[in-house]
Amino acid sequence: MFFNKPPRIGYTLKAAGLVATAIMLSACTQPVSKSAFNDPYEPQNRKVHAFNKGLDRALVGPTAKGYGFITPPVLVNMVDNVAGYLGLPGQAVNNILQNDAKGLGQTVLTFTLNTLTFGLGDLATNAGVPDNNADFGQTLDVWGFRQGIYHEVPVLGPSTERDTIGFIVDTALNPTSLVVPAGVSTGFSVLDRLGDRNEFSDVIEETLYESEDSYATARSLYLQNRNFKLNNGVNEDSLEDPFADF
């Protein structure tokens, strides 16, 4: 394994450095939330949303459909598997940083089983090994960092301060890049995203083009799903109250 003790400390230090920088950068934000969400920059975010929507309509959506149309499903599946496989070392690092032995066991087992297929297949999921999807945004959550403001990132879409920092750290410090050129990993994850855009086109298009307010819907869906993942299930305190009085 390429993450023994020394790299782990190095990783932690580097991660801490990046986090510190990002926090200093975001220190100028002054949350003045009007909605139920921490979204003080809603007007700016809506502009980014309009841009992302235009990008999806003109480029990403059609490209994803083209990709899904010309590529045999078996191959799309393999690309998904490889992209997931290349993410496993980073996932393992996050399991360690979160002190999550069970998660680490799942990740290592997934890596071991899928290595038998050179990463092209997903024996682990077929064998029922749970997918824990640990990322650095989640690690920051475990470490007690707050979620911060919601924002929509150009091209990448909905996120929060904490998740964006997490994404940057995961991308910059991906241990896979020690073995595989970063461009290869990025290529696979772009294709993986196109595959997802195609596979879930019904629900994505319903959200973007058919909902009353696609910005608000996307924000709500993102935050709900993200909190579900951070919490490993629905947070009981966030359940709606059937007897609520207005």
Partner 1 sequence: MLISNTSNRRSFLLGAAATAGMATLPTASFALTTAGAEKLINALTADIFKVINSGKKGPALYKEFNRIFNRYAAVSAIARTTLGPPWRSATNDQKEAYVQAFGGYLSRKYGKRFREFIGAEIKVLSAKSVKRGVLVKSNVKLKGKSPFVVEWQVFDRGNNPQMFDLYIEGISMIKTEREEIGSLFDRSGGKMDKFIARLKNAG
Instruction: Please choose, out of 61-69, 113-121, 170-178, 231-239, the segment that lies near partner 1 by the rule CB under 8 A.
Output: 231-239
Closest to 37 (Cα-Cα) out of 213, 161, 216, 166: 216
Report the site for partner 1 in 87-126 (rule: CB under 8 A).
125
CA distance 31 to 161: 12
- Which of 10, 105, 172, 213 lies at the binding interface for partner 1 (CB under 8 A)? 213
Q: Which is nearer to partner 1, 29 or 125 (CB)?
A: 125
Q: Which is nearer to partner 1, 14 or 229 (CB)?
A: 229
Task: Give percent helix, percent strand, percent coil of the chain, each to the nearest 5.
Answer: 70, 5, 30
CA distance 85 to 118: 9
Q: How far is the CB of 240 from partner 1 (least distance, A)?
A: 5
What tokens were used for 13?
């230090």
The 3-state secondary structure of 173-215 reads: CCHHHHCCCHHHHHHHHHHHHHHHHHHCHHHHHHHHHHCCCHH
Q: How far is the CB of 207 from partner 1 (least distance, A)?
A: 9
Q: How far is the CB of 223 from partner 1 (least distance, A)?
A: 9
What tokens were used for 242?
């059937």
Instruction: Please choose, out of 39-47, 137-145, 186-194, 230-238, the segment that lies near partner 1 by the rule CB under 8 A.
Output: 230-238
Q: How far is the CB of 125 from partner 1 (least distance, A)?
A: 8
CA distance 81 to 121: 6
Report the site for partner 1 in 139-168 (rule: CB under 8 A).
none
Site for partner 1, rule CB under 8 A? 125, 199, 202, 211-213, 216-217, 220-221, 224-225, 227-229, 231, 233-234, 236-246
